[in-house]
Amino acid sequence: MIIDHREISFEAEALLAVLGGSPRAVAAFGLPPGMPQAVLFEPGQQAVRFVYSQGGRSRSAALATDRLGALLVGFSLRLRIPLPRRAEKSIRVEPDKVVLAFRTRVKPDFTALLAEGRLPEGEAPAQRAWAEA
C-alpha cells in the first residue's frame, strides 16, 4: 500500500482572508456579515470561534469543523491550490491553526509494473533522471 498524505495549515490571518474572500459562503454557514476582529482556536471542541465587534460590544460565532472544512476547500480551489479529488479528508483544530488533511491510498499492481530500468516511451525527463539515479 502506498499512502500519500498532504496537509494545508490555515493560521488566524489566513482564516480572516478566507472569510473576507467568501462573503456568500460565510452567510450560508450562518456567520454574521463583516470581518471578525479575532479568531479563537478551540482544539478541545474542534471548533473555531470568530469574534466580532458590533456597536462597542463583542460577539462571537463558532464554526464547526465540517462547515469550516467545506469553506477551506472551496477557498483553496479558488486559489488554485491543487487538492486530491479522491482522498479521505479530515480537519483538525490546533492551538494556533486549522489543518486540512488529505490521505490517498493506492494499492499498486506490482505484477504489472515494468522491470526496473525500463521506462515506456514518452516518459518525462525528470522521471527518467530519477530512474537512472
Q: What is the residue-wise DSSP string for 44-100? A: TTTEEEEEEEETTEEEEEEEEHHHHHHHHHHHHHHTT----SSSEEEEEEETTEEEE
Domain ranges of the chain: 2-106
Separation CA 26–CA 130 (nearest Å) = 45
Question: What distance lies between CA 81 and its chain's CA centroid?
Answer: 9
Among residues 105, 70, 106, the alpha carbon closest in space to that of 91 is found at: 70
Q: Would you say the pTM of this structure is higher than 0.85?
A: no
% of the chain residues with pLDDT over 90: 41
- Number of Cβ within 10 Å of residue 124's Cβ equals 9
Beta bridge mates, 50: 39, 61
pLDDT of 9: 96
Residues of the chain with pLDDT under 50: none
User: Which pLDDT tens digit goes with each residue over 95-118?
Assistant: 999 999 999 998 887 776 665 555
pLDDT of 88: 94
For 97, the grid coordinates are: 491553526
pLDDT of 121: 62
pLDDT of 29: 84
Which DSSP category does 121 fall into?
A: T
Separation CA 92–CA 50 (nearest Å) = 16
